[in-house]
């Protein structure tokens, strides 16, 4: 396998809904920052790939206008997945394995504020039997949270603990939307949105973008003092039928983690794409992480959730901990679909020399 | 490149205006099952899936790889969903070849589909963008000015577009899967059809179809065990250019020329007209055949229409284009590009039946999308490279 590393990462300076900027305007500064930080001249980047979703903008081909931010002239070698940017990064990693190019730019963007994600995300369900019931994502997540609480001895305090920790961690993340030092008792006194989930158990509505530059072996070593090497990456999907799944577990996350080699060493940091607090509990167990790991030091999706970029940001945040020397080995996770249906696990590590 | 890639199984649905007999899941299974049968494989043999389709609003299902995971036997496996506008069927296949070339997987199923009858494509293409003026004209309204510009530049006579429309519909009569089977189609019928977007007449435009296409791609070792002759992937390429760029030529886009140059270089093609035996190119409106002949280097600038007019691109011509009937005869949008790629592979495998071109050894598959901005191509051959 070709060695591939994350050599730079950039994200929006704020993820708060931004009525004044469109997707291209959200993306442009982020992409330029990632490319500049990488030290690779933009024209020399071998492959560009992005992740986004038409339904957020309510228009077909929303990724087409994003090409204007890339400045794809003269024409570039480029691809797009209608998935979270983490899967765009997977496509780039595969493309780099072909070994005829040595760098790739990956970006993702999402502007959730212009639509109603509670309505839009219902359209991910089976179009004949489930979507016509308009099951909103919070209610669906609450079903999973309830199943977890009733089966495993977890309590609502466990959820509140995750929220309290996430909000506090986010205080050191200048891009985060939600930051606070709140006690578990205060959190538990808030009303339910959909029992057992409260507003803080659910992600905020966010607008923003993220970009990552990948480079292969020699190039990565030359341009980066401490590249975040991709030691393993894999993604898997579970059944779509919620009734056919044990909602308290995530076999696809467990399988992806095993294939990516998540447990082949200590994990200093884990950035998990847990959009609802209870999902972190399911993911910790599926991936096999214990309390020796720092979870979502960025604050995670509970503090900023630009849909379609949230997963890529997990990889970027985890890679940043490697690149800044605060971690030696990190696990990044991305998810897609109702109740963590599809999961990607990326293991990043520092290497000597 | 770590591994060579081969096509060992191909399947497509019967394409039609409304496949009311199947759900979206049923439609994709029809194509996927046929591809597996052709490769003499089962779902169990497939390691990963790459699927593609055009905008989700064409069916009203957001990120349908989630809903289709079960129907495609993907549970417990990796599945990726590609979307690069109209070129997506081609791009999806190219992304799948990378999974093989890289050595990451040995056996991959790639599939593209569209079930246009589930929604309204014209509506989905005409929605009001939040920060841009609405076009409200669908694809035909967008491309008609480009066609007019081509006619003005090249001095092509008006009947050339109609000749393409007739030729592709006659070819479709040889293809049992084609949506349109128009017995007795002729120039007079096309000329008499309503003008939709001047100069594009109703019968010079593609239909709106439900359909899917699937291929099994494998590495060399698996291709060696394949029951039928494989099509070897000799080259792949993808190129994109922005909506707006100073000097951008939408009639003869640079991204298309660059993409062709990339794929020819990789496949060792120096003279496409001589080295390629048959091509399946993405022609949703008749005039795009001469336009793409020039963009792809089969003809010099402003001369493409002469190949059409001289019958060179006809079924029995020296450079047959779209013997399957092409997009003008079946247009399940997301699958239309993959159908071009698959039909090219069928030709070099000798499995194109009534529309088989004799001695086809090297074939080009081509797809484009967006405002003539996204290009995907592959060259396949009967001989191992």
Residues A216, A232, single domain; the answer is no
Right CATH for B6-120+208-224 from 3.90.1150.10, 1.10.10.10, 3.40.47.10, 3.30.930.10: 3.40.47.10
Q: What is the mean pLDDT of chain B?
A: 95
Q: Is A255 on the interface with B (CB under 8 A)?
A: yes
Measured between CA atoms, the residue of chain B closest to residue A25 is B131
Q: How far apart are CA A229 and CA A213, in angstroms?
A: 12
Considering only CB atoms, A125 lies closest to which of B67, B91, B103, namely: B67
Q: How far apart are CA B176 and CA B355, in angstroms?
A: 10
Residues A284, A154, single domain; the answer is yes
pLDDT for B35-61, tens place per residue? 999 999 999 999 999 999 999 999 999
Q: Which band of pLDDT confidence, cut at 50, 70 and 90, is reported for residue B245?
A: confident
For residues B167 and B160, the answer to whether their CB atoms sit within 8 Å is no
For residues B6 and B232, the answer to whether their CB atoms sit within 8 Å is yes
For residues B165 and B190, the answer to whether their CB atoms sit within 8 Å is yes
Considering only CB atoms, A74 lies closest to which of B83, B129, B254, namely: B254
Taking the CA atoms of A237, A242, A246 and A249 in sequence, report the sign of the dihedral they define.
positive
**pLDDT score of B11 more than 60:** yes
Residues A19, A141, single domain; the answer is no
Residues A194, A335, single domain; the answer is yes
Q: Is A129 exposed, middle or buried (0-12, 13-18, 19+ CB in 10 A)?
A: exposed
Best of A17, A52, A59, A95 to disrupt the B interface by mutation (most B CBs within 10 Å)?
A59
A 96-135 residues with CB below 8 A of B? 97-100, 114, 120-121, 123-128, 131
Considering only CB atoms, A94 lies closest to which of B98, B125, B248, namely: B98
Considering only CB atoms, B23 lies closest to which of A123, A128, A236, namely: A128
> Are the beta carbons of B69 and A75 separated by less than 8 Å?
no
B-chain residues near A68 (CB < 8 A): 242-244
A 151-190 residues with CB below 8 A of B? none
Q: How far apart are CA B223 and CA B217, in angstroms?
A: 9
> Are the beta carbons of B76 and A71 separated by less than 8 Å?
no
**pLDDT score of B65 more than 60:** yes
Q: What is the DSSP letter of A171?
A: G
Written as six digits, the tokens of A237 are 């999907």
Q: How far apart are CA A235 and CA A259, in angstroms?
A: 9
> Nearest-CA distance from B142 to chain A in Å?
14
> Nearest-CA distance from B158 to chain A in Å?
32
Q: Is A309 on the interface with B (CB under 8 A)?
A: no
> Are the beta carbons of A78 and B124 separated by less than 8 Å?
no
Q: How far apart are CA A314 and CA A76, in angstroms?
A: 27
> Are the beta carbons of B76 and A63 separated by less than 8 Å?
no
Q: Is A207 on the interface with B (CB under 8 A)?
A: no
**pLDDT score of B130 more than 70:** no
Q: Is the peptide bond before B381 cis (omega within 30 degrees of 0)?
A: no
* CATH value at residue A85: 3.40.47.10
Which bin fits A211, alpha (ψ -120 to 50), beta or left (φ > 0)? beta
The confidence score (pLDDT) of residue A172 equals: 97
Record the pTM.
Answer: 0.98
Q: Which band of pLDDT confidence, cut at 50, 70 and 90, is reported for residue B246?
A: confident
Q: Which residues have C-beta within 8 Å of that of residue B158, sequence separation ≥ 6? A: B151, B199
**Complex ipTM, two decimals?**
0.97
A-chain residues near B78 (CB < 8 A): 234-237
Mean pLDDT check: name the lowest of A140-149, B112-121, B267-276, B279-288. B112-121
For residues A2 and A230, the answer to whether their CB atoms sit within 8 Å is no
Counting one residue from chain A and one from chain B, the pairs whose CB atoms sit within 8 A come to 192
**pLDDT score of B120 more than 90:** no
A-chain residues near B23 (CB < 8 A): 128
Considering only CB atoms, A60 lies closest to which of B127, B239, B373, namely: B127
For residues A193 and A138, the answer to whether their CB atoms sit within 8 Å is yes
Residues A177, A98, single domain; the answer is no
Residues A128, A260, single domain; the answer is yes
**pLDDT score of B136 more than 80:** no
Residues A255, A338, single domain; the answer is yes
Considering only CB atoms, A58 lies closest to which of B69, B127, B237, namely: B127
Q: Which residue has better confidence, B246 or A104?
A: A104
Residues A215, A248, single domain; the answer is no
Q: Is A57 on the interface with B (CB under 8 A)?
A: yes
Residues A305, A327, single domain; the answer is yes
Residues A87, A60, single domain; the answer is yes
Considering only CB atoms, B130 lies closest to which of A57, A80, A126, namely: A57
B-chain residues near A79 (CB < 8 A): 82, 84, 91, 94-95, 238
pLDDT tens sequence for chain A (353 residues): 899 999 999 999 999 999 999 999 999 999 999 999 999 999 999 999 999 999 998 878 888 888 888 889 999 999 999 999 999 999 999 999 998 999 999 999 999 999 999 999 999 999 999 999 999 999 999 999 999 999 988 999 999 999 999 999 999 999 999 999 999 999 999 999 999 999 999 999 999 999 999 999 999 999 999 999 999 999 999 999 999 999 999 999 999 999 999 999 999 999 999 999 999 999 999 999 999 999 999 999 999 999 999 999 999 999 999 999 999 999 999 999 999 999 999 999 999 85
Provide the domain limits for residue A45.
4-115+204-223
Best of B20, B25, B54, B62 to disrupt the A interface by mutation (most A CBs within 10 Å)?
B62
> Nearest-CA distance from A45 to chain B in Å?
14
For residues B256 and B375, the answer to whether their CB atoms sit within 8 Å is yes
**pLDDT score of B132 more than 80:** no
**pLDDT score of B22 more than 80:** yes
A-chain residues near B118 (CB < 8 A): 127
pLDDT for B340-377, tens place per residue? 999 999 999 999 999 999 999 999 999 999 889 999 99
Q: Which band of pLDDT confidence, cut at 50, 70 and 90, is reported for residue B118?
A: very high
> Are the beta carbons of B57 and A54 separated by less than 8 Å?
yes
Percent of the residues in chain B that have a pLDDT greater than 90, as a whole number:
91
Phi, then psi, of B337 in degrees rounded to 5: -70, -40
Q: How far apart are CA A260 and CA A233, in angstroms?
A: 5
CA-angle at B230, arms to B115 and B354, nearest 5°: 65
> Are the beta carbons of A76 and B24 separated by less than 8 Å?
no
For residues B337 and B89, the answer to whether their CB atoms sit within 8 Å is yes
Phi, then psi, of B209 in degrees rounded to 5: -125, 155
Q: List residues bridging with B363 in a β-sheet.
A: B278, B380
Q: Is A261 exposed, middle or buried (0-12, 13-18, 19+ CB in 10 A)?
A: middle
Terminal-residue alpha carbon distance, chain A: 19
Q: How far apart are CA B325 and CA B340, in angstroms?
A: 10
Q: How many domains is chain A built from? A: 2
The confidence score (pLDDT) of residue A162 equals: 98
CA-angle at B66, arms to B63 and B71, nearest 5°: 125
The confidence score (pLDDT) of residue A61 equals: 81
Q: Which band of pLDDT confidence, cut at 50, 70 and 90, is reported for residue B133?
A: low
Q: Which band of pLDDT confidence, cut at 50, 70 and 90, is reported for residue B129?
A: low
> Are the beta carbons of B132 and A65 separated by less than 8 Å?
yes
For residues A275 and A301, the answer to whether their CB atoms sit within 8 Å is yes
The confidence score (pLDDT) of residue B126 equals: 73
Task: Spell out the domain ranges in chain B.
Answer: 6-120+208-224
What does the CA dihedral A30, A35, A37, A43 come to, rounded to 10 degrees? -160
Measured between CA atoms, the residue of chain B closest to residue A69 is B242
């Amino acid at each position: 396998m070709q060695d591939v590393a994350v050599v730079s990462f950039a994200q929006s300076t704020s993820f708060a809904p931004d009525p004044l900027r469109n997707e291209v305007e959200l993306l442009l500064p982020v992409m330029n920052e990632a490319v500049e930080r990488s030290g690779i001249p933009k024209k020399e980047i071998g492959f560009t790939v992005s992740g986004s979703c038409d339904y957020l903008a309510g228009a077909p081909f929303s990724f087409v206008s994003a090409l204007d931010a890339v400045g794809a002239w003269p024409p570039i070698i480029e691809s797009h997945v209608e998935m979270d940017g983490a899967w765009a990064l997977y496509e780039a990693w595969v493309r780099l394995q072909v070994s005829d190019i040595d760098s790739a730019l990956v970006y993702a963007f999402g502007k959730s504020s212009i639509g109603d994600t509670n309505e839009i995300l219902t359209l991910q369900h089976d179009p004949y039997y489930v979507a016509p019931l308009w099951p909103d994502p919070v209610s669906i997540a609450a079903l999973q949270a309830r199943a977890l609480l009733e089966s495993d001895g977890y309590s609502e305090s466990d959820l509140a603990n995750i929220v309290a920790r996430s909000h506090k961690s986010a205080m050191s993340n200048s891009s985060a939307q939600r930051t606070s030092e709140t006690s578990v008792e205060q959190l538990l006194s808030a009303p339910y949105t959909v029992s057992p989930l409260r507003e803080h158990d659910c992600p905020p509505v966010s607008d923003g973008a993220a970009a990552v530059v990948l480079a292969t072996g020699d190039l990565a070593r030359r341009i980066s003092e401490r590249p975040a090497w991709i030691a393993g990456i894999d993604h898997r999907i579970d059944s779509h039928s919620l009734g056919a799944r044990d909602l308290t577990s995530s076999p696809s996350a467990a399988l992806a983690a095993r294939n990516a080699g998540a447990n082949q060493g200590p994990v200093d940091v884990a950035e998990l794409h847990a959009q609802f607090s209870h999902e972190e509990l399911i993911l910790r167990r599926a991936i096999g992480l214990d309390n020796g790991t720092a979870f979502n030091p960025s604050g995670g999706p509970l503090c900023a959730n630009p849909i379609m970029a949230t997963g890529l940001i997990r990889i970027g945040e985890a890679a940043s901990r490697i690149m800044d020397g605060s971690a030696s080995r990190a696990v990044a996770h991305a998810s897609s679909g109702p109740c963590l249906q599809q999961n990607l696990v990326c293991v990043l590590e520092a290497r000597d020399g | 490149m770590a591994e060579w890639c081969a096509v060992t199984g191909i399947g497509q649905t019967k394409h039609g205006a409304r496949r009311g007999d199947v759900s979206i899941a049923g439609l994709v299974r029809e194509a996927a099952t046929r591809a597996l049968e052709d490769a003499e494989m089962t779902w169990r043999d497939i390691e990963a899936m790459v699927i593609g389709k055009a905008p989700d609003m064409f069916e009203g299902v957001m990120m349908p790889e989630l809903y289709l995971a079960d129907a495609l036997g993907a549970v417990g496996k990796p599945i990726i969903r590609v979307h690069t506008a109209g070129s997506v069927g081609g791009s999806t296949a190219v992304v799948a070849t990378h999974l093989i070339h890289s050595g990451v997987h040995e056996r991959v199923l790639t599939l593209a589909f569209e079930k246009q009858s589930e929604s309204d494509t014209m509506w989905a293409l005409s929605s009001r963008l939040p920060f841009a003026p609405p076009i409200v004209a669908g694809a035909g309204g967008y491309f008609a000015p480009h066609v007019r510009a081509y006619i003005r530049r090249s001095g092509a006579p008006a009947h050339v577009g109609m000749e393409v429309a007739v030729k592709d519909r006659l070819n479709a009569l040889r293809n049992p899967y084609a949506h349109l089977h128009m017995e007795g189609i002729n120039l007079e019928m096309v000329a008499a059809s309503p003008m939709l977007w001047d100069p594009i007449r109703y019968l010079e435009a593609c239909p709106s179809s439900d359909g899917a296409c699937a291929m099994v791609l494998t590495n060399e070792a698996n291709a060696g065990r394949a029951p039928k002759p494989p099509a070897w992937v000799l080259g792949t390429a993808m190129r994109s250019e922005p909506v707006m760029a100073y000097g951008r030529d939408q009639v003869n886009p640079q991204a298309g020329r660059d993409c062709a140059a990339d794929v020819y270089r990789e496949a060792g093609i120096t003279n496409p007209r001589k080295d390629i035996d048959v091509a399946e190119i993405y022609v949703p409106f008749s005039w795009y055949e001469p336009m793409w002949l020039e963009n792809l280097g089969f003809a010099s600038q402003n001369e493409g229409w002469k190949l059409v007019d001289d019958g060179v691109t006809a079924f029995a011509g020296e450079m047959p284009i779209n013997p399957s009937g092409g997009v003008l005869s079946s247009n399940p949008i997301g699958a239309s590009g993959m159908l071009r790629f698959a039909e090219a592979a069928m030709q070099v495998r000798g499995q194109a039946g009534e529309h088989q071109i004799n001695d086809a050894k090297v074939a080009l598959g081509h797809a484009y999308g967006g405002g003539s901005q996204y290009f995907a191509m592959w060259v396949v051959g009967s001989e191992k490279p």
